[in-house]
Structure formats: C-alpha cells, structure tokens
Amino acid sequence: MTEEDKIKIKKILADCVAGAISRTTKKIAEQKSHKPFHMALLTEDIVKVSSFERSFSTSFGQGPIEKISELVAKQNGFEAARQKETLLNLYKGAVDEVERICSALRSGNQKPNWTKEIQTLAAFNKGDTVVRRVISDLWLKKGETEYFISIKTVTPNLDQSEIAKKDMLLLKAENSSFNTFFALYYNPHGLKREDYNHSFPMKMYDMHKDECVLIGKDYWDFLGGEGFYEVLLQIFAEVGEETKQTLLGF
C-alpha cells in the first residue's frame, strides 16, 4: 500500500473519531434536560462514554468502512465503486424462487446452503421476465470478473441479513458468473470464522461454511491481498496513538 493511501485511510479514521466526539458533546448537552433520570442516576462520564461508543460504532460501520474498502481494493488492482446500482432482467420464476428461499430460511423451515440455493435457481431459465434493482455497498472488477459485496454491521439484524441475501441471489440469477459476498469487517466473537455466533445472519447464511461469507481477516485479505489485515491493524494502531490522546481530554 502506498503512503498516500495510508494517509487517506488515517484521515478517514481520524475524521470518524472527531465526528463522534462532536456529536456526543452536542447530545450530552441535550440529555441534561431531556434525560433527567439518566443524568440523576449515572455520572456524566458514564453517559458520555456510552453515547460516544454508540455514535462511533454506528458511523464507523457505514461510510468509513466502505471508503476504506474501496481504497484498499483499488490499490490491489481492482476497479471499485461504492453504492453500485445494477438493473437486472430476471425470469419471474427465479424471482419467485428467491422469495421462497428467503422466506423458508427466515422461518427456519430450510437451512442455509449457498451452493444448493444457487443450483436451485439455475433451473429457472425461461418464461416471463421482470426488472429488479440492486444496490451493492461495494462493487469490484478485475479482468472480466465482477464482485458485488454487501457490507453489514458485525451483528446485523434479521431484516438486514435477509435483504442482503435476496440481493445476492438475484444477482446470481441474472448472471451465474457474478461473485456475490456478505461481508462483516471484523468478527466480534473471536479470531476464527467458526467463532461467529450472532443468531440473525445465521438464519440466512451458513456463516461458518458458505463461500459467499467473508468475515474479518478473510474480507480484508480478499480486498488487499494476503496479509493485508495485519497491515490495516497497524494503520489503525498508528492513528490510535493520536485519537486516544484526544479522547483523554474529552
């Protein structure tokens, strides 16, 4: 990774922390009058820390992660774009099958198995067609191969997981050569993929085995090349030396 790209990533991270501090400062001022019971029972420091963590986690898991992901992919030779719109011309039977699959997974009447689900969709290759629109958080291309990635918070709810699954299946129904992924930028439950255990996405995906799932190190090494995850952690650590000092006076 070039020094220029490292500087860009560091700025994204520093701006994210600064934004969370600004929002929290404003919110605490409002809470003194609008949350009298919290302020009466808790210290201001505890309320401040809680508000800051929520603000930072929410904002960081959205724009900054997508921006960093795009930068990393481009330095590794991918074409890349965020919030990519794709219009799909699909057989109605395939669309109906996507709905059936997701409904069965959500209700627990079917266990997730990406390979079998894709094989099932392939049978729907004639009849009336319909148009569907899919927005991918990150789109990549290298050579003739395209990748469509749905980047979610590390503990997504069931609706978020299902919407991502539908989009991924619709893309595969349009073109079986499309590579679609459900990506979490870190694993909140441990170092190994098998450690992940948040229940909602596990209804829609086999989080431990499905090839369409990328978690933590697997995600970053896919974008940046083998070993990039450790490079990224070092960049975070360098920025952290400055942001931690800023937070001491917060």
198's tokens: 């948040």
Return the bridge partners of 140, or none. 80, 147
pLDDT of residue 124: 94
- Report how far residue 121's alpha carbon sits from residue 197's, in angstroms, rounded to the nearest whole number: 28
pLDDT of residue 145: 97
**With a threshold of 0.85, does the pTM exceed it?**
yes
- Report how far residue 56's alpha carbon sits from residue 153's, in angstroms, rounded to the nearest whole number: 12
Calculate the dihedral angle through the C-alpha atoms of 204, 210, 212, 215, rounding to the nearest 10 degrees: 90
Q: What is the DSSP string of 46-98?
A: HHHHHHHHHHHHHHHTTHHHHHHHHHHHHHTT-EEEEEEEEEEEEEHHHHHHH
Q: What is the residue extent of each domain of the chain?
A: 1-60+232-250, 75-215
- Report how far residue 107's alpha carbon sits from residue 96's, in angstroms, rounded to the nearest whole number: 17
Q: How far apart are the first and last CA of the chain?
A: 33
240's tokens: 């952290």
pLDDT of residue 46: 82
Q: pLDDT tens for the chain, 250 residues: list them.
A: 889 999 999 999 999 988 888 888 887 776 655 677 777 787 877 877 888 888 888 787 778 999 999 999 999 999 999 999 999 999 999 999 999 999 999 999 999 999 999 999 999 999 999 999 999 999 999 999 999 999 999 999 999 999 999 999 999 999 999 999 999 999 999 989 999 999 999 999 999 999 999 999 999 999 999 999 999 999 999 999 988 888 876 6
pLDDT of residue 58: 78
Q: CA 249: distance to chain centroid? A: 31
Q: Report which DSSP code applies to 198.
A: -
> What count of other Cβ atoms lies within 10 Å of the Cβ of residue 77?
11
pLDDT of residue 32: 58
> What count of other Cβ atoms lies within 10 Å of the Cβ of residue 64?
19
pLDDT of residue 110: 96
Q: Report which DSSP code applies to 239.
A: H
